[in-house]
Amino acid sequence: MRYEAPDSLEGAVALLAGATGEARVLAGGTDLLVQMRADILDPDLIVDIKKIPETRSITEEKGGWRIGAAVTGAELKEHPRLKKAWPGVIEAANLIGSTQVQGRATMGGNLCNGSPAADSVPALIAAGAVATLAGPNGKRDLPVEDVMLGPRKLALRKGEIVASFFLPPRSPRSSDAYLRFIPRTEMDIAVVGAGVSLTVDGAGVVTAARVSLGAVAARVLLVPEAAQAIIGSRLDKPAQDRLEAAAQAACRPIDDKRGTVEFRIQVAGVLARRAALIALDRARES
């Protein structure tokens, strides 16, 4: 097994594009090393992207934020201004695993691991985050909701990696929130996750919203119907009910040891409602 740690995106892309056997990108390693250990994966080449400056930095860009794909959850949490702008994204990334895992786990890895239950992904999708991919033909941008196609299936072409995420500029009175259900308080995988990002006007009316649900379908869902259900409202009880119903209608979950189909659908509605109310409170204070 070959290990390479190039210091440029071009170097990483060249290694991956030229790989003849199975190649894997190493960011935080909290999924990759576990899968190697369990003999689920036995790559011929590991490309560690953490020596590439673009993947490791958090910078302001065009009024928004660019976050390197290999920035860890702990580093995100320690960035006060980013946390103020996107509290939902930061809280979602910091629900992944333990303190120890937070010291390593990254949003790029969380997305590219290809799990529909990935905690940071619904929050990124709700945020309208765009992934910047680097590949043999240069860079291209892809909305986060279009990166994952299904369990372990990504829209990345051979040689492509997720280099960074772009979080768009924030209007005044905007915020976001992410909630997940697990049977305990820490160290578990989402049974359901819900991310909501919204903007209100001076009168408290929702003028823009995005709602995303995790672990209720083969991929993380963007649910425009749920967003439409609250746009134009003050998120009063009827609007909350419409949001809950729209969220539930979008769910296509599986039955497994973590939860039944019925349970997941019900919880998706409840979490979408609660996340929207938290985002609303934060937006009023922002």
Q: Comparing C-alpha atoms, which of 215, 225, 223, 208 is closest to residue 267?
A: 215
Q: How far is the CB of 30 from another protein (least distance, A)?
A: 5
Burial (0-12, 13-18, 19+ Cβ within 10 Å), 254: middle
Token readout for 43 is 């790559």
- 17's enclosing H/E stretch is helix 9-17
* Total residues in contact with another protein, by rule CB under 8 A: 28
User: In the stretch 160-199, what mask flags binding to another protein with x, by CB under 8 A?
Assistant: -------------------------xxx------------
Count other Cβ atoms within 10 Å, centred on residue 166. 18
User: Closest approach of Cβ 41 to another protein, in Å?
Assistant: 11
Q: Is 5 in the site for another protein (CB under 8 A)?
A: yes
Nearer to another protein, 32 or 211 (CB): 32
Binding range to another protein, per CB under 8 A, among 36-44, 150-158, 190-198, 222-230: 36-44
CA dist 215 and 126 (Å) reads 15
* Angle formed at CA 1 by CA 159 and CA 53, multiple of 5 degrees: 50
Beta strands in 144-235 (DSSP E): 148-150, 153-154, 161-167, 174-181, 192-200, 206-214, 221-222
Q: How far is the CB of 75 from another protein (least distance, A)?
A: 9
CA distances (Å), 273 to each of 88, 194, 224, in order?
14, 9, 14
Cβ at position 264, least distance to another protein in Å: 24
Residues 65 and 87: their CA atoms lie apart, in Å, by: 13
Q: How far is the CB of 104 from another protein (least distance, A)?
A: 5
- List the one residue from 74, 218, 261, 277 that touches another protein (CB under 8 A): 74
In this chain, which of 100, 151, 238, 241 binds another protein, going by CB under 8 A? 100
Interface with another protein, residue 20, by CB under 8 A: no
The residue (of 35 and 260) whose beta carbon lies closer to another protein is 35
Q: Is 6 in the site for another protein (CB under 8 A)?
A: no
- Find how far residue 131's CA is from the centre of its chain: 10
How far apart CA 286 and CA 282 sit, in angstroms, is 6
Q: How far is the CB of 3 from another protein (least distance, A)?
A: 4
Q: Give one word for 152, left, alpha or beta, with left for phi > 0 and alpha for psi -120 to 50.
A: left
Smallest distance from another protein to CB 40, Å:
11
Q: Does 50 bind another protein (CB under 8 A)?
A: yes
* Residue 76 interacts with another protein (CB under 8 A): yes or no: no
Q: Which residues form the interface with another protein (CB under 8 A)?
A: 1-3, 5, 26, 28-30, 33-34, 36-38, 46, 48, 50, 72, 74, 97-101, 103-104, 185-187
